[in-house]
A and B are shown apart, each in its own frame.
Chain A
Amino acid sequence: MSNTTYAIAKDNDGKNILKFLLGELKPKGKIFTPFNIISIPIMLLGLVLIVIRFWKGIGSITNLTQDVPWGLWIGFDVVTGVAFAGGAYVITFMVYILNMKKYHSIVRITVLNGFLAYVFYAGALLLDLGRPWNVVNPIIGNSFGTSSVLFLVAWHFLLYMIAQLIEFSPAIAEWLGARRAHKILSGMTLAAVIFGITLSTLHQSGLGAMYLMAKEKIHPLWYSEFIPVMFFVSSIFAGLSLVIFEGSISNKVFSDQISDKNHKAHHGIVISFAKVCAVTMFAYFFLQLLVFVHGQHWDLLNTTMGYWYLTEMLGFVLFPMLLFFYSYRINNILLVKIAAIITMLGIIINRLNVTIIGFRWDAATHYYPSWMEIVVTLAVIFTEIWIFRWIINRMPVLRESPTWAKNQK
């Protein structure tokens, strides 16, 4: 396959590009893998549900109520998903701002992951909009709600997607063999990175700030004026944990694409991530503790929600934090992965506690997502993985860049 790329690179006329693209569209590899067998029916079912949703209204497939107007699609797909996509800004920060070159081999895959996450979560947002045809209003300036945190977050999503696309674009240029474009696009990377990190800081915390006005609706153990800070800090280790987790999977699935050198480097990368996670989680835990003491909610601890709060803080923050520290000390990569998975669960729990579980915890009827909401969510995730796989099998993401691209730098 790489031979064709080079051929095109040499002979860059239009017809060949077309042929090349058509050829690339064809599936590669086996069709009947376990992943495909599970994901295809779910994606098809999800598609049917989405049609029903646009035809009969959001209430036809969701369990949303007038008390809880935002459910799984916002609380999990958008709020939790974006936290996990935080890895991209953390890694680009380390590589391009702190110039830690040893992480360079995972920049592309992380940025790609982040980019796709945003594309699909913004997509999930569209599914949740009752009147999506008016989505252009706040974009084309027809109607600016500048005092709205959601306005800020929506704009930042959009701009950040562009920044990430620019960060990733050299890989596309290498795939297409577009040498001049590659040079220009590579030159834009640093600017895109700086812009992207700034945007990420603001919208990661912005997602939390969205809930600031719901003061009496969120359980006091989870509501504080510091939600934005908490969301930002936790997005750092949320993103890194996902990078660790995703890395251990793609290292197996796409092992043929990864050079020996990078394979070996991976161990060191994961171990040093453990350290970064442990330190940021320590800061996060400390902040949570301060907020708790400041909020004076001791009496609430001895309630069901209180136990749940303690479970989150001790079992899913403190425990994985210690595990990260320990695995870093003894240099054990398996423990790092386990800690990463527990941390990810903790992030899911935390975001759902703010957005769903603790939201109107006192309402008469509680919201539970319907199976159809869950299927649509899974369909969105699977589609993302399909595209992710499609790109990795074609573009130099894990694989080394072609020699001409390296020489250009």
Chain B
Amino acid sequence: MSINRRSFFKFLSLTGITLAVGKESVAQSDKGQEVDFLSILYDSTHCVGCQSCEFACAEAHGLPEPVGAPEAGKIRKLDETNRSVINCYNTSKGEIYVKQQCMHCNEPACSSACLTNAMHKTKEGPVIWRGNKCMGCRYCMVSCPFDIPKFEFHSANPKIQKCNMCFDRLEERKIPACVENCPAEALVFGTRRELIKEARKRIVENPDTYVDQIYGEDEAGGTGILYLSSVPFNELGFRTNLQKTSYPELSKGFLYSVPTIFVLWPALLLGIHEATKNNHVKEDENE
């Protein structure tokens, strides 16, 4: 099921549809020294709001055609029928389009929440949902800091809908549908490290165009989707109050204490039981 990492990276560098992937990073990931994930860079200064990505996404995943168009002051929300949406915001630099979809976190809250491991961070990077495991508890929705997973509340066989970075297409060695269909080159597909490098380069070369931040570099412990913008991200409806460390970190302390309690408690309880045993003899005598 999983895609052959090495050949996929080769494929990436051969096709040249996206960034050329340097030999270096291929060699590195082969040795497994540091993990690198497949990622997408979205440059909002390029986006023209044509919705090509939305339509391509719907078609690739058998979802109904998107309704409505981006309009300043009106938020179109992600829901169980669309995994990717373009919105328009009134900002200090005029109207700006922004794409929204799953962020493919490096350490996703959704997958650490999932008790069946149906939400799964693939080793290639995309976070995918597996219907044969999911029991529909919706704990992933409660936990995701970006509010991404959506649930089909009106189905007897409900699915969780969210972007999977076209994992099935990746396995066929095709790039994600949205990236492929973007006419404005607002979307770039590559490995995370390469894309961060590219994003930095753009910021350095055009300091007047971009704010000096790559959204997704540190947010929620780092995400697989990276954003560039010409205005501060809070003007574009981004959550800017998210912590920089990963969300699963928040429940780790509790989970780590479990084995300890499992060992200590019974011993302690048995100890108290033995110690108080004689008390009850006394009490019984009193009765």
Contacts and interface: CB of A to CB of B under 8 A. Distances in A.
A66 B77 contact: yes
Given A66-B150, A145-B115, A202-B262, A213 B109 contact: yes
A152 B242 CA distance: 26
Interface in B260-287: 261-262, 265-266, 269-270, 272-273, 276-277, 279-280, 283-284
Interface in A84-132: 93, 96-102, 128-132
A246 interface: no
Nearest to B279: A99
Given A130-B135, A213-B145, A213-B251, 5 more contacts: A66-B150, A96-B273, A99-B283, A147-B112, A215-B250
Nearest to B278: A99
Interface string B99-135: 0000000000101111111100000000000011111
A404 B242 CA distance: 65
11 contacts: A56-B156, A57-B156, A59-B153, A98-B272, A131-B135, A134-B136, A144-B117, A148-B113, A150-B139, A198-B262, A215-B247
Interface string A195-228: 1011001100110011111111100000001001
Contacts of A130: 134-138, 151-152, 158
A69 B141 contact: yes
A102 to B, nearest CB: 7
Nearest to B145: A216
B253 to A, nearest CB: 7
A213 B111 CA distance: 12
Contact of B135 (A101, A132, A193): A132
Nearest to A104: B280
B145 A215 contact: yes
Contacts of B261: 198, 201-202
A147 B143 CA distance: 13
A138 B133 CA distance: 9
Contacts of A311: none
Nearest to A190: B273
A151 interface: yes
B162 to A, nearest CB: 11
B248 A147 contact: yes
B201 to A, nearest CB: 32
B79 interface: yes
Contacts of A132: 135-136
Contacts of B138: 69-70, 130
B158 A131 contact: yes
A369 B264 CA distance: 41
Interface string A52-88: 0011111110101011011000000000000000000
Nearest to A130: B136
A130 B155 CA distance: 9
Interface of B: 77-80, 109, 111-118, 131-139, 141-143, 145, 147, 150-158, 239, 241-243, 247-248, 250-251, 253-255, 258, 261-262, 265-266, 269-270, 272-273, 276-277, 279-280, 283-284
A258 to B, nearest CB: 18
A197 B248 contact: no
Contact of A69 (B118, B133, B151): B151
A269 interface: no
A131 B134 contact: yes
Contact of B143 (A58, A144, A190, A214): A214
Contact of B243 (A99, A194, A215): A215
Interface in A120-178: 128-135, 137-138, 142-145, 147-152, 154
A66 B151 contact: yes
Contacts of B157: 131
Nearest to A133: B135
Residue from B111, B243, B269 having most chain A Cβ neighbours under 10 A: B269
Contacts of A147: 112, 248, 255
A100 B269 CA distance: 14
A195 B70 CA distance: 57
B285 to A, nearest CB: 11
Contacts of B78: 66
Contacts of B270: 194
A30 B247 CA distance: 56
B142 A129 contact: no
